[in-house]
Amino acid sequence: MALTTKLRASLEATQTGPNDFGGTFTPLMSASADLSDGTGADQADILWIDERTVATGANDDIDLNGVLTNAFGQSIAMLEIASIFIINAPRSGVANTTNLTVGVGTNPVVGYLGGTTPTLGPIRPGNWVLMGGGHASGLAPVTAATGDILRVANSAGASATYQIAVVGRSA
């Protein structure tokens, strides 16, 4: 099965106010990556995407090497993360009321985070995070049994349903 991936992030704004050059400032900042099928730079061959629920005050530990299946029921064994996209909201239904944090745990994937106990967050309800690109070494290596768990932790107060996509490489 071939995989092509288009990553897009952009910020476009218009700010008005008095100044000597017309009073309008319209910056545009964007980044993109088009990944073709494969395991090298600007490539990816694994997609895992899901909507998951994590209980109040609990962790959702996602094993990226050998436990998950793709949309067609095939087992995936990711060895490198190219992109992660997390939305702290369900696709439809009642909005979340708790924050999510990504990182730490037992045998964590940490290459995209720094420090000795790295985390990303809090990701507040309705907010989202997209990290990725086409770099040859990706965001982080995934090492079976020692660095293959992506933890999504929920703060206390209520269950949270979130969306997650991980694009990666098998070699």
pLDDT at residue 118, rounded to an integer:
78
**Which stretches of the chain score pLDDT less than 70?**
115-116
Of the candidates 148, 99, 104, the one whose C-alpha atom is nearest the C-alpha of residue 128 is 99
pLDDT at residue 115, rounded to an integer:
65
pLDDT at residue 32, rounded to an integer:
94
pLDDT at residue 22, rounded to an integer:
81
Contact 112, 129 (CB under 8 A): no
Is the whole model's pTM more than 0.85, yes or no?
yes
pLDDT at residue 84, rounded to an integer:
95
CATH number given to 35-169: 2.60.120
Q: Residue 120: which residues within 8 A CB-CB, separation 6 or more?
A: 101, 102, 103, 112, 113, 129
pLDDT at residue 116, rounded to an integer:
66
pLDDT at residue 104, rounded to an integer:
85
For residue 65, give the 3-state DSSP assignment: strand
Of the candidates 78, 80, 79, 98, the one whose C-alpha atom is nearest the C-alpha of residue 88 is 98
Q: Where are the domains of the chain?
A: 35-169
pLDDT at residue 88, rounded to an integer:
98
